[in-house]
Amino acid sequence: MFQDMNKKISDSIEPFRELVNIQTKMLEELTRQQMACTKSCIEATIQQTQEMQRCQSPTDLVDLQKSYARDLETTIKSASDQNLKALQDARMEIEEIAHSAFDAFNK
């Protein structure tokens, strides 16, 4: 009897474990992506600072700033797209768990 009750409790908790695992995986992915984005932005800033020393005219400086802004925009857009994909993937997995849990009640 105790084993049956233990199994029922374990079975009923399993969807919550899966949700926690999905959220953990999603947060790890988001953190990894944010760290990569931050590293890329820092590297671009360092490169920008080094290249500023080589500017010979205001036009060179403006062109350098434009290039820097484009590079940062590309980096941030890419990070945003990757973040949205991670969130959508997690949402789809959570929806699957929710549907299977509701299907279990319909039986």
pLDDT at 57: 93
SS3 state of residue 55: coil
pLDDT at 6: 74
Please tell me whether the overall predicted TM-score, pTM, comes out greater than 0.85 for this model. Answer: no
Can you say whether residue 57 is alpha, beta or left, with left for phi > 0 and alpha for psi between -120 and 50 degrees? beta
Q: Contact 30/85 with Cβ under 8 angstroms?
A: no
pLDDT at 1: 66
Q: How far apart are CA 96 and CA 49, in angstroms?
A: 48
Q: How far apart are CA 87 and CA 34, in angstroms?
A: 13
| pLDDT tens, position by position, 77-103 | 999 999 999 999 999 999 998 888 776
